A and B are shown apart, each in its own frame.
Chain A
Amino acid sequence: MQAEERGFAVTSVEEPGGRTRLRLEGQLGVGELGVGWGELEQLAKSADGAVILDLAGLRRVDGVGAALLVELRADLRRRGVAADFHGAGDGVAPLVELYAQQPALLRCKPAPAHRGLFADVGAFTVRQALGVSHVLGRLGETAEELVKVARSPRRLPWRDVPRLVERTGPDAVPIVALISALVGLILAFQAAVQLRNFGAEIFVANLVGLSVVRELGPLMAAILLAGRSGAAIAAELGTMRVSEEIDALRALGLSPQAHLVLPRLLALLLCLPPLALVADACGILGGLAVGVVALDIAPVAYWNQTVGAISGWDIGTGILKSLAFGLIVGLVACDRGLATQGGAEGVGRSTTSAVVTTILLLVVADAVFALVFTVLGI
C-alpha cells in the first residue's frame, strides 16, 4: 500500500445558510484515526450552524471509524446542532448504518440508577445490622438442628469430622505457637521497661502470665482461626452456594445446617480450647525468654513466679472464652458462606465479610466477658 493511500483528510467548507460541510477523504480505520480525527472533532465543534458530514470521499471505513462517526453525530445532536451524514458510498454506508441502529431485540433494560452517597451509607448500615441479626438467626437454626441430630445422630456426616478437625486444629499449631510466642516476647519487653523503674522485674512473669492466659491466648488463637479456618469455611460454603451445591443438598432433602454447619462448628469447638492452651504456653515461654536473656532472671524463678500468679480458674476462664470464640468464628463463617450471592466476586466478598465481622464480634465478646468477670469479681 502506498503511503498517500493511508490516512484521511478533512476539509471544511462554509455553505450558504450558515451550514458547514465537513468533507472527509481517504480511509477511516483504526490505523488512520491518529492522523486527522482530532482535527475533524475540532472543526465539528467550532461549527455554528448545521453540520453536514460528507462521506462521499471516504473509500473505506472500519468498525472503529463507523462507531466514532456515529458518536460524533450523536454528540453534535445532543448539543442542539443539526448534523447528518451525506453521500456515504457502498464501502461505508452499511457499516455506519449498522452502528447507528440498535436492534430492538437486543435492547436491555437500563441498569438501576446510582442512589447517591447518603442512600449508600444507609443501605450499608442496614446491611451490617441485618448481618448480625442474621448470624443470631443462624444460631437458632443450628440449635434446632442440634436437637434433631441428638435424636437421630445419622443426620450428621461423621465421616467428615476427622478431616475437618485436622485442618482446623493440628494444621494451625505452628502459626498459633509462633504468633503467641512473639506476643509474649513483646509484652515482656514492654513490661520490663516500666517495671525496671521500680526494681520489680520479676513481676514481668505475673503480667505476661495473667495477660496471656486470661486474655491474649484465647483471643490470638481465635483471631488466627478466624483468618485460617473462618475464611476457608466462608470460601468453601460460598463456592458451594454459587455452584448450586447447597441447593442440590436441599433438593436431596438434606439440611445444610446438619450436613455442613454442624460438623464445622464441632471441629472449631474441639480445636479452639487446645489451641488456646498452646497459645498460653507459647506466650509464657516468650515472656520467659525475655526474662532470662534481658532481665537475668533464673528460668526456675520465672517459672515459679508464673505458676504462683496463675490460678486454675484463670486458665478455666480462658477455655470458657475460647469455646464462645469458636462458636462465633464458626457461625459467622458459615452464615456468610451460605448467604453468598453472585459469582466469584461474591465468594470474595463473603470471605472478607466473614473475617472482618468475626474479628469485630470476637473483640466485642471479649469486652463483654471482661465486664462480666469484673462484676462477678473473678
Chain B
Amino acid sequence: MQIPATMRAPGQVETAPRPLIEARGLAVGYDNQPILEQLDFDVAAGAVLALLGGSGCGKSTLMRNLVGFDRPIAGSVRWNVTADGGLVQGAPRFGILFQSGALFGSSTLLENVALPLESWTGLPASAIDAVARAKLRLVGLDGFENHFPSEISGGMRKRAGIARALALDPPLLFLDEPSAGLDPITSAEIDELLLLLNGQLGMTLVVVTHELASLHRIATDCLLLDREARGAIARGSPRELADGSRDPRVQRFFHPHARSRA
C-alpha cells in the first residue's frame, strides 16, 4: 500500500512495507556451538520464504530461533508483526506446524484446534466449537473432529496441525517440512492449501523443506543454507537459483541427478 505524499511526515522517504522479520548477524546452534553464522535476511510481508538445505544444516534450528524458542548465539531477530486487536494480550502472533504435527495426544482434533481459541479469545463455547470445526473443514478434516491424533494418518495429522496453527488467524505461519514423508498426492494437496492461505488470506509463510517439487510450486523466495559454509550460500526465487546460479553447491541442490544423467 502506498502512503499518499501528503500524509508522509517531512523527510520520510517512500519505502517498501517493513519486512515482518529482520534477522541481522544471526548465529544459531546448540551449546554455544554455531551451526549457522552471519545470517542477514528479511521475511517480507506476503512472501513464501523457503529455508533450504541438506539434512542437519540447521534449517529447523534457524526456525526455532526465528520464532523465539531458542536464543540466538549472536545477532538479533526483530519482529514487526502487530498484534491483532481482538485477541487477549499476549496471544501468539504466528502459527507453527511441527514436523510431526505435534498434536496433543490426549485431546481430540477438535479440542486441539479449540485450545488456542479458548485461551486467547473471549468467544463463547458454541462459537469456539464452530470456528474449530470450520478450521478443520478448511484442511479437509470434517468428520474427524472427535478422532484422537493416534487414530488418523500422518498426512491427516499434518493437516490437523495446520488447522491448529491457523486457529487464531496469524499473519505469519511457520511450517517445518509440511510435505516430508507424505505421498505425492497428499503433498500436493498441502501445497495447494498453502498457496490458498498465501494467495487468498495474504498469510506470510516460512517453510522449511527439501522437497524440490513442492519448493517450485509454492516458494517465492529461497534461502539456501549449507552445513560446510555454516551459513546462507544463496538467496533468490527458486527459478533464479535453479537456472541462474553458477555456484556448484546451488546447482547440486537444485539438480541432484544432473551428474549421473550426464
Which chain A residues have a beta carbon within 8 Å of chain B's beta carbons?
A: 154-155, 240, 243-245, 247-254
Contact = CB atoms under 8 A, between A and B. Distances in A.
Given A250-B69, A251-B92, A253-B120, A245 B102 contact: yes
B99 interface: yes
Contacts of B96: 247-248, 251
A190 to B, nearest CB: 46
B116 A253 contact: yes
A47 B43 CA distance: 66
A155 B118 CA distance: 10
B244 interface: no
Given A250-B69, A252-B116, A245 B104 contact: yes
Contacts of A155: 119
B95 A251 contact: yes
B116 A247 contact: no
B116 A245 contact: no
Contacts of B67: 251
16 contacts: A155-B119, A240-B104, A243-B100, A245-B103, A247-B98, A248-B96, A248-B161, A249-B104, A250-B69, A251-B92, A251-B94, A251-B96, A252-B92, A252-B119, A253-B119, A254-B116
A253 B116 CA distance: 8
B90 interface: yes
Given A253-B116, A253-B120, A254-B115, A248 B95 contact: no
A-B residue pairs, 7 tightest by C-beta: A244-B102, A253-B92, A248-B102, A244-B98, A252-B116, A251-B96, A245-B102
B98 A253 contact: no
A249 B112 CA distance: 10
B105 interface: yes
Interface of B: 64, 67, 69, 90-92, 94-96, 98-100, 102-105, 115-116, 119-120, 161, 164-165, 167
A247 B176 CA distance: 13
Given A251-B92, A251-B95, A244 B100 contact: yes
Given A252-B119, A253-B116, 10 more contacts: A240-B104, A243-B100, A244-B102, A247-B69, A247-B98, A248-B164, A251-B69, A251-B92, A253-B119, A253-B120
Nearest to B93: A253
A253 B96 CA distance: 11
Contacts of A249: 104
Contact of A253 (B91, B102, B103): B91
Given A251-B67, A252-B115, A244 B99 contact: yes
A245 B150 CA distance: 14
A152 to B, nearest CB: 9
Contacts of B103: 245, 248
Nearest to A155: B119
Contacts of A154: 119
Nearest to B69: A247
B85 to A, nearest CB: 16
Contacts of A243: 100, 102, 105
B69 A254 contact: no
Contacts of A251: 67, 69, 92, 94-96, 165
Nearest to B94: A251
Nearest to A154: B119
Q: Which of B69, B102, B116 lies at the interface centre, i.e. has the most chain A CB atoms within 10 A of its CB?
A: B102
Contacts of A250: 69
A248 B164 CA distance: 10
Contacts of B98: 244, 247-248
Nearest to A253: B92
A255 B64 CA distance: 17
